[in-house]
Amino acid sequence: MKTNITFPVTAALVAICIQACDTTDKESIPMVGVGLEDVYFVPRMKKLPLRPELTGSSYKWTLTTPSGESSTVATSRSYIFLEAEEGAYRLTLHITGDDGVFTTSTTINVVHEEIEYSPYISKVYEYRPAPGQFINQMPVFETGDTYETMLAKVENCIKGTADELISLGGWGGYVTFGFDHTIVSNPDTPELRIWGNAFYNNGYDDKGGSAEPGIVMVSFDENCNGIPDDTWYELAGSEFSKTMRGYTLTYSRPATENGTIEWTDNLGASGTIPHLPFHRNGYYPMWIEDTEITFNGSILPSNGTLAPGSSTDYILESYPWGYADNHPNSEAGLNSFHFINARDISGMPAVLPGVDFVRVYTAVNQVCGAIGETSTEISRAADLSLLR
Ligand SMILES: [Ca+2]
Ligand SMILES: [Ca+2]
Ligand SMILES: [Ca+2]
């Protein structure tokens, strides 16, 4: 490789595009720097997307932290700077082209946010529950409600510390939420906690009672548009090796509001969610006009078993770790989630710089006698780094 040869451009012609990547304000116009800025300022836990206009055959971004540690952080043309710790970071980009290597550097000052972040959910993006005994109840559907009004109700339930449970219904039903900042990945400790309503039965030796495990998925807003339209990753839990991916299930609207819910899956199986005598509401989401609802995802083995000595009472056993609504809220560690467990669609480990969107869905497909279908509930979530 030739050295000591610069590109036939000057630094003034190199544009590092700066896009204000604030998921709370999609209207903010990207600020484009023409010429290389010496200094940038960005709040902690906010993304700073960087992309040179200069084209090369390869790129290398090297970051030096405030404590002086240097490492290569990207070898792609674009790089999204994201740091949780305040301080001055030195970023260098090497672009290799036909005529040699062009090098440019900048200082990025990570500063404290102007308005203090909330550790808790700030926005609910989607609520797509499957049918279930608590659907249209948690939250309550009222005449005139639409998808938008139901979404607002769900947000009121789980935003901040409101702590009102929402139900996701049977297998596949989900909710998608986010925070007022990016939860930055931390290889050393779990980053996310989710609250539900699981409990252990007294007198039962193993951990179990009402565990309704939900799979947690995470996504990084890599196109910086504030919308969950990016790649999703499943957080592997203790049952990952027994999890079947690529499961698809379709529920049909019953002929009458209080009718039995029928479903079919992509394995050729079919079944029902029977209507329980003590939950008289309709089980099919009443704001959904489609006559079928289809979900895709992973399915966990069933966790319901008949209680010892009983022919009617069920124990829903807790899986060891890695699922929402699977252990009581008093078990903080067992309701915490670590992004190092992210897996891509083929089940391979994936490294995420941070998480902007979290999705939880009911992960078992079972009906347990008089307690009916198993349905994940959640009431709150938090960025653990802001609770320490
Ligand atoms: Ca996006
Ligand atoms: Ca439930
Ligand atoms: Ca539950």
User: Residue 41's domain is classified under what CATH number?
Assistant: 2.60.40.10
- pLDDT value of residue 54: 84
What tokens appear for 27 in the block? 């209207």
At 4, the pLDDT band (50, 70, 90 cuts) reads very low
Asked if the model's pLDDT at residue 92 lies above 60, the reply is yes
Same domain, yes or no, for 234 and 333? yes
Evaluate whether residue 4 is within a structural domain: no
Query: Looking at residue 53, what is its pLDDT?
Result: 84
Per-residue pLDDT, 20: 40
Ligand nearest, relative to CA of residue 230: 1
Closest ligand by atom to 227 CA: 1
Task: Indicate whether 31 pLDDT > 70.
Answer: no
Among 3-17, 131-145, 286-300, which is the least confidently predicted range? 3-17
**328 shares its domain with 287:** yes
- Confidence at 277, pLDDT banded by 50, 70, 90: confident
What is the per-residue pLDDT across 98-118, written as a single tens digit (0 to 9) for each?
Answer: 889 988 899 999 999 999 999
Same-domain status, 103 and 248: no
pLDDT of residue 201: 87
pLDDT in tens, 202-222: 777 678 899 999 999 999 999
Is residue 36 very low, low, confident or very high in pLDDT (cuts 50, 70, 90)? low
Give me ligand 1 centre to Cα 23, in Å: 9
182 contacts 82 by C-beta, under 8 angstroms: yes
Are 259 and 381 part of one and the same domain?
yes
Distance 340 CA to ligand 3 centre (A): 26
Mean pLDDT across the stretch 137-142? 97
Q: Is the pLDDT of residue 50 over 90?
A: yes
CA of 212 to the centre of ligand 2 (A): 6
pLDDT higher than 70, residue 42? yes
Please name which ligand lies nearest the alpha carbon of 378: 3
Virtual torsion, Cα 224, 159, 299, 348, nearest 10 deg: 30
Claim: this prediction has a pTM higher than 0.75: yes
The ligand whose atoms approach the alpha carbon of 212 most closely is 3
Cα(135) to centroid(ligand 2), Å = 10
Cα(375) to centroid of ligand 2, in Å?
A: 4
Separation of alpha carbons 46 and 180, rounded Å: 9
Maximum CA extent, the chain? 83
Identify whether residues 105 and 135 lie together within a single domain: no
* Burial call 315-324: b when 16+ CB within 10 Å, e when fewer: bbbbbebbbb
Backbone torsions φ then ψ of 152, nearest 5 degrees: -65, -40
| Contact indicator for 251, 284 with CB cutoff of 8 Å | yes
Q: Which ligand is nearest to the CA of 356?
A: 1
Identify whether residues 199 and 168 lie together within a single domain.
yes
DSSP for 140-209, written as a single string? BP-TT--HHHHHHHHHHHHSTT----EE--STT-EEEEEEEEEEE--TTS--EEEE---EEPTT-SSSEE
φ/ψ region of 121 (left if φ > 0, alpha if ψ in -120 to 50, else beta) reads beta
For residue 301, the enclosing domain spans 123-386
Domain assignment present for 117 = no
SS3 341: helix
Domain-located, residue 247: yes
Together in a domain, 66 and 174: no
Q: How far is CA 197 from the centre of its chain?
A: 19
pLDDT for 3: 35
Q: What whole-number percentage of the chain has pLDDT above 70? A: 90
- The band of 82, judged by pLDDT with boundaries at 50, 70 and 90, is very high
H runs (alpha helix) in 41-164: 147-158
State percent of the chain over pLDDT 90: 80
Residues 57 and 148 in one domain: no
Enter the DSSP assignment of 97: E
Ligand 3 mean position to 178 CA, how many Å?
21
Please tell me the distance between residue 199's alpha carbon and the centre of ligand 2 in angstroms.
11
Alpha carbon of 387 to ligand 2 centroid (Å)? 27
Q: pLDDT per residue over 221-261, tens digit each? A: 999 999 999 999 999 999 999 999 999 999 999 999 999 99
- Ligand number nearest to the C-alpha of 133: 2
